[in-house]
A and B are shown apart, each in its own frame.
Chain A
Amino acid sequence: MTSSGRMIAVCLLGFSTATAAALVKHDGATARSPMPAAQQTTFNRDIAPILFRYCAACHRPGEAGPFPLLTYTDAKAHARQIAAVTSKRFMPPWLPEPQELKFADELRLSEEQIALIQKWVEQGAVEGVPADLPPAPQFVAGWQLGRPDEIIEAEKPYTLPAGGSDMYWNFIFRTPVDRTRWLKAIEIRPGDKRVVHHANILVDRNQSARRMEADPRAGFPGMELKIESETFDPDSHFLFWKPGTVPRPEPESMSLRLDKDTDLVLNIHLQPSGKTEKIQPNLGLYFTDKPATHFPLLLQLENDRQLDVPPGEKRFLVTDEFTLPVDVDLLAIYPHAHYLGKDLQALATLPDGSAKTLIHIPQWNLNWQAVYRYADPVPLPKGTTISMRYIYDNSSENLANPNDPPRRVVAGNRSSDEMAHLWLQVLPHVSSNADFDPRMLLQETMARHNLEKNPADFAAHYNLAAMLQARGAQSEAIQNFELAVRLRPQDATANNALGASLLAAGRIGEAIPYLNAALRAQPDNFDAHYNLASALASQDKFLEAIEHYRAAIRLHPDDANAEANLGSALAEAGKLSEAKLHFQRALRIDPNHKLARENLEQINRDPKNLQQ
């Protein structure tokens, strides 16, 4: 029996700084036109409804807006400001152009609303009669979804300097669960909302991000990170916070699995405010008894390899196209580029030839990046081609350009590097008679697509091999694991997976060198100890096998399979009383462990064997 390979879900989330706002140059001050008194625009009748609906969620005490906009006095004290920022569409922040496919919670003012604000200011920002004032918006104080079942706070605060450029910081939250639980929501309270531009949670089931912390438990800087995930467990949910976000519980059927020893990594984008700020975020966890029955997944289009933008280039195009191998519902979309991103667009071309704009952001602004959820799921049939079309501006006209003067920019994780990513949350349609998991077919197709773009893509070879292995295409799986190992000969995970794959094919002699290589690269690799022990046991090298099973158990003392197999190896080596002890341990961990029970019963039936 082998513990098969791990799946590397490469998860890159990005962030950066900014550019912005559709620049409809609109000079309110020169566009004065005297209005008859009858057409007097007033705060109470005309402006309050707009501010309450679009602005107040952030512009109220304790929220991200720098000043409240809840009363006439508040609005009057910023009247020209409001007119200027709305006419430039800097506020409220909403990047996508209007389109046929509607987004939920759209924060876009109409031209009429913008004109009304201009008129109100030109006419002297009059209050109007009290009877016209709509009721003030009601907000929930504190946790938006009520008291969480568990609150976890970052262990150490991060101190943001008073000045300088934007900062990206990652906090690792150890989760307080002792068994697998299901979450219906995670509410992010990022700290002082005036400095936090947005935040994103990555689920780190393998505690792989902890290796990034120079000072344990203090977190670590960085804009993008990679998370390794164990087994087939692709990312499935966007866990995103931006100012004004009210957390949205997941649909009951799509709860989020949280295992014991899972870390939640909170990546936040901070903008200095002029004074030093201590940032110590909290997460509120809301549990549910209902395990997920529907499994969405995050698909990523990207083409970082195309990103090689010469200095001065104003329209550098990066594209990617992916054809869906199964029917899906598109639930949400998250375009991502850094500071050179200018015009970001995603299209879907359906099998009937019709095309739909999935999103179009003509003036990308990293500061206001967001996950956009569709008002209704968008059905995309098998054969639909999703295309990403991003334009980058590396000239000095792009104010957000991190380089002055501009220089050549390629893909990378730093904010001065670039990215071309498009994430889509899709829910594959599951047909009752299908004998495959559509998510696995999507992953396999995605891995093959990535290899077309880049034959030297380690993660793609690895993930493709893992999918092939899972559906029993053993020789092609081995071939791809071999290619992954050739690309990264020192990678413990890949060496172990290749070893495990060879082991599963009965090629034991060939497996052992790779398993040894995995242990040289990472002596505390549980899987490699376990697999090597199993390989040695199959060659009747029980004493060596026993050592590796013991090493595996030292790393994972609660692994029933390792205990049972150690028992078997000990029994084969004639150490029956010790073997019995380990079968009993395996049964204490898992009372239904068949192998341990059968072997134990056999020893008990034939007690004279104990004398051997």
Chain B
Amino acid sequence: MHRPSLSSRPLLCFFLSFAVPLLLALPSLLAAQKTALHLDSTPADPFLAASGKPVVLIFVRTDCPISNRYAPVIQRISSEYGAKIALWLVYPSKASTAEKIRQHEREYGYKLSALRDPQHALVTQAQVQVTPEAAVFDGHHRLLYHGRIDDLYQDFGRARPAPTTHELDDAIQAALGGKTPPPNTPGVGCYIADAE
């Protein structure tokens, strides 16, 4: 016989107290399956480290000439926004070992932290298709923008002398100032799916 008013209470409390660790456990459980890595191969969560700042992920490949050509632009963005954003270079290729990435960063003068994403955990979260593409998340980890950095390339081999739009800059400023981000615009570059 049920006496719902009293007997259900401890049950409910019990259920809730169980539910809290369960919910907390869920992301870490998923992370154990698919996670980005620091160069020392420890699991990386760029959102956890951001402590409420906008997170910017820029996806590159060591052997993609188009993303390489963007190195000075990416470095400029990193210097310009500095500590206001959490900016990461993400290498989605399985073939990019930590050693290759360090060498690539040295060669192209990158002075920002890099992550490996061999399981495409961040690729999926950021909804990017090619290198170079960027994703901008606001302080609440909501994806505001994903796509090209600017419109330098319209297609393979069709580059402008200089870009006329700057989507990544606009998206970062939107994230910082609570403004409307630019529409998502796909980039031109090397297919990340090839790097599976």
Contact = CB atoms under 8 A, between A and B. Distances in A.
A399 B158 contact: yes
Contacts of B71: 162-163, 274-275
Nearest to B94: A77
A66 interface: yes
A80 B107 CA distance: 27
Given A66-B63, A77-B95, A275-B109, A339 B161 contact: yes
A80 B194 contact: yes
Question: In terms of DSSP, what is the predominant structure of the interface of chain A?
Answer: loop
A84 B108 contact: no
B155 interface: yes
B69 interface: yes
B191 interface: yes
B69 A17 contact: no
B162 interface: yes
Nearest to A404: B164
B77 interface: no
A231 interface: no
Question: In terms of DSSP, what is the predominant structure of the interface of chain B?
Answer: mixed
B160 interface: yes
Nearest to A415: B161
A274 B73 CA distance: 9
Given A80-B191, A275-B108, A275-B109, A17 B72 contact: no
B195 interface: yes
Given A80-B194, A84-B191, A162-B109, A274 B158 contact: no
B65 interface: yes
A220 to B, nearest CB: 22
B155 A162 contact: no
Interface string B118-160: 0000000000000000000000000000000000001111111
Given A66-B64, A66-B65, A78 B190 contact: yes
A79 B194 contact: yes
B68 A21 contact: no
B72 A400 contact: no
Interface in B54-89: 63-65, 68-73
Contact of B194 (A18, A20, A78, A165): A78
Contacts of A20: 155-158
A273 interface: yes
A163 B159 contact: no
A473 interface: no
B193 interface: yes
A367 B63 CA distance: 20
A197 to B, nearest CB: 11
Interface residues of A, number: 40
Contacts, number: 95
Contacts of A166: 161
Contacts of B190: 78, 81
A276 B75 CA distance: 14
A85 interface: yes
B180 to A, nearest CB: 25
B156 A80 contact: no
A318 B70 CA distance: 36
B195 A77 contact: yes
A228 B93 CA distance: 53
A79 B193 CA distance: 9
Contacts of A275: 68, 71, 107-109
Contacts of A402: 161
A587 B91 CA distance: 74
Contacts of B68: 66, 273-275
A85 B156 contact: yes
Given A79-B194, A274-B108, A400 B160 contact: yes
A577 B157 CA distance: 73
A214 B72 CA distance: 28
Contacts of A323: none
Query: Which of B95, B109, B159 lies at the interface centre, i.e. has the most chain A CB atoms within 10 A of its CB?
Result: B159
A76 B93 CA distance: 12
Given A80-B191, A275-B71, A165 B162 contact: yes
Contact of B65 (A17, A90, A165, A194): A194
Interface string B30-72: 0000000000000000000000000000000001110011111
A393 to B, nearest CB: 13
A165 B161 contact: yes
A160 to B, nearest CB: 12
Nearest to B73: A163
Interface in A1-53: 17-21, 23
Given A81-B190, A274-B108, A275-B71, A404 B162 contact: yes
A164 B191 CA distance: 24
B156 A163 contact: no
Nearest to A161: B72
Interface in A69-89: 76-81, 84-85, 88
Closest 6 CB pairs of A and B: A163-B72, A274-B71, A80-B191, A274-B68, A66-B65, A90-B156
24 contacts: A18-B159, A20-B156, A21-B156, A80-B193, A81-B191, A84-B156, A84-B191, A88-B156, A90-B156, A162-B71, A163-B72, A165-B162, A194-B65, A271-B69, A272-B69, A274-B71, A274-B108, A275-B107, A275-B108, A275-B109, A368-B157, A399-B154, A400-B161, A401-B160
Given A90-B156, A163-B71, 15 more contacts: A18-B158, A66-B63, A81-B190, A81-B191, A81-B194, A84-B191, A88-B156, A90-B157, A273-B68, A274-B68, A274-B72, A275-B68, A275-B71, A365-B157, A404-B162
Interface of A: 17-21, 23, 66-67, 76-81, 84-85, 88, 90-91, 93, 162-163, 165-166, 194, 271-276, 339, 365, 367-368, 399-402, 404
